[in-house]
């Protein structure tokens, strides 16, 4: 008998596909910003550290997407993996907002 707490493959696909695509998009935009612009409110070390963490998250995301596809989108991704990505994106959005504000001053 199946595990009644496991989400259906349709639910996994309808939730995880767009979520993973969103992570991929926002990590890519954040990486592009950090590679091409100097954040005057961050030290070079802080900016490089954030860029390194984004690169690591992108590698993890790529692996997760491959595994998700390889399982026929039947297996989810642990929240312990998703939560740090979510926090990192929050940090990226704050840096982006602050960068935009600094450009208008």
35-74 confidence digits (pLDDT tens): 999 999 999 999 999 999 999 999 999 999 999 999 888 8
Query: Across the chain, what does the average pLDDT equal?
Result: 91
State CA 40 to chain mean position distance.
Answer: 24
Whole-structure pTM value: 0.88
Determine the length of the chain: 105
Q: How many CA atoms lie within 13 A of 76 on its CB side?
A: 16
* Tokens 């992108």 found at: 58
pLDDT of residue 100: 96
Per-residue model confidence (pLDDT) at position 5: 60
Q: Which of 70, 89, 91, 79 is nearest to 23 (CA)?
A: 89
Specify the higher pLDDT residue, 73 or 94.
94
């Amino acid at each position: 008998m199946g595990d009644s707490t496991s989400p259906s493959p349709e639910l996994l696909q309808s939730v995880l596909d767009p979520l993973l695509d969103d992570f991929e998009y926002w990590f890519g935009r954040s990486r592009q910003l950090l590679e091409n612009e100097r954040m005057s409110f961050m030290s070079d070390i802080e900016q490089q550290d954030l860029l390194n963490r984004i690169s690591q998250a992108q590698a993890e995301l790529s692996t997760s997407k491959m595994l998700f596809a390889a399982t026929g989108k039947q297996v989810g991704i642990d929240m312990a993996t998703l939560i740090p990505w979510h926090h990192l994106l929050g940090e990226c959005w704050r840096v982006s907002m602050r960068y935009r504000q600094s450009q208008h001053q």
